[in-house]
């Protein structure tokens, strides 16, 4: 343990209101800490530069899930376990439920939060590709009020976000319109559990019910982790394959465009070449399964 606890302040306001008031009073001075699964690792390693921490763990306003007709609003303080165990998240947002299951072991799932995952902004984070393909929106809160913005674009660079110094994420809002889509998620790590991803993918696809011939891609959304400085939605690839039939040629094309879009690197966990190859394979696997479900009479919403 390489830090001295006496060097740090940690306060735990009992309410969201008090938390944002403190942030407003001293913007940038307080680092919010929720479940601590990232911050406390840095702290123990002697690498935590912040000295004043604001605990937002278990604030009731942040740790709830609201089900609305068109949207599921997940409080930023919800843990991965909260997500895994919630009936509606499992049913309507299977990519997010899968990611939650793959993040760390049980103990870290009981403490890690979706808000923390977003703000920590690791490009390897497991849940974030799911948020991208679900077109999530974030509600940010400060003493000045709330604002709502698309999650796409929230990450502005490696570990940088649009969050202002006096803001917290209040909730993550996910539309409930993907239940007819085919979902595909996969995480590739160094081992089956408790691994930081080398590549991870979240994808949604919808085939058009074509007339006599092979169905075409009506809508496709693909996001990857660990292939760019930020969680990455493959807009170019999606545009290119949109509206097309899934045949061998399309798989090759998808791989090609994806290979040009992503920017994986060599790091302590893996290599750029490996990541690029596996990313391509995962996209192909997704499209192949999308096509396969199209060939089976109507199995919407299947998680493959």
Contacts with other proteins, residue ranges (CB under 8 A): 1-6, 8-14, 18, 22, 33, 35-37, 40-41, 43-46, 53, 55, 57-58, 81, 104-108, 110-111, 188, 190-196, 198, 248, 251-252, 255, 268-271, 273-274, 277-278, 280-282, 284-285, 288-289, 291-292
Partners of 220 in the β-ladder: 205
Q: Which two tokens stand for residue 62?
A: 């942040």
State how far the Cα of 206 lies from the Cα of 181, in Å rounded to an integer.
Answer: 5
Nearer to other proteins, 58 or 162 (CB): 58
In the complex with other proteins, the residue whose CB is nearer, 131 or 279, is 279
Q: Which residues contact 153 (CB under 8 A, 6 or more apart)?
A: 162
How far is residue 120's CA from residue 296's CA, in Å, rounded to a whole number? Answer: 41
CB of 289 to other proteins, least distance (A): 8
Smaller CB distance to other proteins: residue 49 or 192? 192
Q: Which is nearer to other proteins, 205 or 280 (CB)?
A: 280
How many other CB atoms sit within 10 Å of the CB of residue 196?
20
Q: How far is the CB of 169 from other proteins (least distance, A)?
A: 19
**CB of 112: closest distance to other proteins in angstroms?**
9
Count other C-beta atoms under 10 Å from residue 156's C-beta.
13
Taking the C-alpha atoms of residue 285 and residue 222, their distance in angstroms, rounded to an integer, is 12
Which pair of tokens denotes residue 201? 């993918």
Cβ 276 vs Cβ 264: under 8 Å: yes
Distance of CA 195 to the CA centre of its chain: 16
For other proteins, which is the closer residue by CB, 149 or 190?
190
Q: Which is nearer to other proteins, 288 or 302 (CB)?
A: 288
Q: Indicate the DSSP class of residue 302.
A: -
Whose Cβ is closer to other proteins: residue 129's or residue 131's?
129
Check: CB of residue 202 under 8 Å from CB of residue 132.
yes
Q: How far is the CB of 2 from other proteins (least distance, A)?
A: 4
Beta carbons within 10 angstroms of residue 8's beta carbon? 14
């Amino acid at each position: 343990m390489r830090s001295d606890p006496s060097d740090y302040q940690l306060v735990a306001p009992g309410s969201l209101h008090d938390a944002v008031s403190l942030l407003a009073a001293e913007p940038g001075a307080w680092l919010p800490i929720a479940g601590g699964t990232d911050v406390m690792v840095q702290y123990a390693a002697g690498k935590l530069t912040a000295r004043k921490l604001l605990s937002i763990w278990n604030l009731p306003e942040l740790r709830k899930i609201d089900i609305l007709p068109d949207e599921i609003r997940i409080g930023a303080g919800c843990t991965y376990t909260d997500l895994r165990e919630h009936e509606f998240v499992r049913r309507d947002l299977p990519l997010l439920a899968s990611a939650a299951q793959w993040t760390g072991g049980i103990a870290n799932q009981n403490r890690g939060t979706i808000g923390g995952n977003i703000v920590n902004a690791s490009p390897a984070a497991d849940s974030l590709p799911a948020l991208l393909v679900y077109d999530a929106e974030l509600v940010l809160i400060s003493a000045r009020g709330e604002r709502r913005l698309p999650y796409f674009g929230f990450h502005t660079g490696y570990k940088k976000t649009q969050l202002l110094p006096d803001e917290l994420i209040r909730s993550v809002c996910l539309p409930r319109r993907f239940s007819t889509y085919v979902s595909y998620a996969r995480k590739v790590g160094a081992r089956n559990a408790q691994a930081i991803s080398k590549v991870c993918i979240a994808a949604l696809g919808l085939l058009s019910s074509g007339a006599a011939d092979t169905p075409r891609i009506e809508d496709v959304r693909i996001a990857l982790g660990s292939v760019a400085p930020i969680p990455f939605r493959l807009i170019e690839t999606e545009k290119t394959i949109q509206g097309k039939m899934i045949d061998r040629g399309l798989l090759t094309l998808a791989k090609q465009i994806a290979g040009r879009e992503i920017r994986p690197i060599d790091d302590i966990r893996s290599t750029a070449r490996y990541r690029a190859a596996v990313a391509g394979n995962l996209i192909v696997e997704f499209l192949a399964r999308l096509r396969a479900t199209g060939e089976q009479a109507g199995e919407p919403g299947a998680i493959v």
